[in-house]
């Protein structure tokens, strides 16, 4: 498979921008209620999109490189303050290199019903026993409290569903 299905080499900026565009093509269309971050090359740095741009508008040229306090190192614009909880996850999980936070319709529906994701179909088996659930959501994720709560609830899982959030 490695010979027949070669993956083209891409920069981290290209991969991050492509992730945004692919998500948009699959119905994730918000840059406000959903963010993408990827660890930068230097420790404590992250690539993310500018606040106010939709996922379909993200290009390598308009990505921001920010530090752990969301100060812009490279690029023009402001990152979403909701990215603050991403820094907590990166701090707690050195194995995590990218965070995708979106509000897909079906996951948001489960969240409103306070129902954890239970793997019961082969299309979701990739997350079998790997999706945490946070039953109490404190609100808009722009402060450190949310980062502490989410990173603790995530634990060693790859995904998390937040009640009343998505």
Question: Which domains can be identified in the chain, with CATH numbers?
Answer: 12-162 (3.40.225.10)
pTM comes to: 0.82
Q: Which tens digits make up the pLDDT trace of 97-127?
A: 999 988 877 777 877 887 777 777 777 777 7
Q: Which tens digits make up the pLDDT trace of 125-161?
A: 777 888 898 888 766 666 788 888 889 999 999 888 8
| pLDDT at site 139 | 67
Q: Name the E strands within 15-147.
A: 35-39, 45-48, 64-67, 72-74, 98-101, 131-134
3-state secondary structure of 48: strand
- CA-based diameter of the chain, in Å? 48
Q: Which tens digits make up the pLDDT trace of 64-96?
A: 999 999 999 999 999 988 888 899 999 999 999
The alpha helices in 30-142, defined as continuous H runs, are 84-92, 105-112
């Amino acid at each position: 498979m490695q010979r027949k299905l070669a993956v083209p080499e891409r920069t981290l900026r290209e991969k991050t921008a492509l992730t945004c565009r692919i998500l948009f093509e699959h119905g994730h269309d918000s840059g406000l209620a959903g963010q993408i971050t990827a660890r930068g090359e230097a420790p404590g740095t992250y690539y993310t999109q500018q606040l106010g741009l939709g996922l379909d508008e993200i290009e390598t040229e308009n990505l921001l490189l920010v530090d752990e306090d969301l100060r812009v190192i490279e690029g023009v614009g402001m990152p979403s303050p909701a990215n603050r909880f991403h820094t907590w996850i990166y701090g707690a999980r050195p194995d995590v290199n990218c965070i995708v936070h979106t509000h897909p319709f079906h996951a948001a529906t489960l969240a409103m019903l306070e129902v954890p994701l239970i793997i019961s179909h082969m299309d979701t088996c990739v997350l079998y026993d790997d999706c945490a659930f946070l039953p109490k959501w404190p609100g808009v994720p722009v402060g450190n409290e949310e980062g502490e709560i989410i990173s603790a609830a995530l634990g060693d899982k790859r995904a998390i569903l937040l009640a009343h959030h998505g």
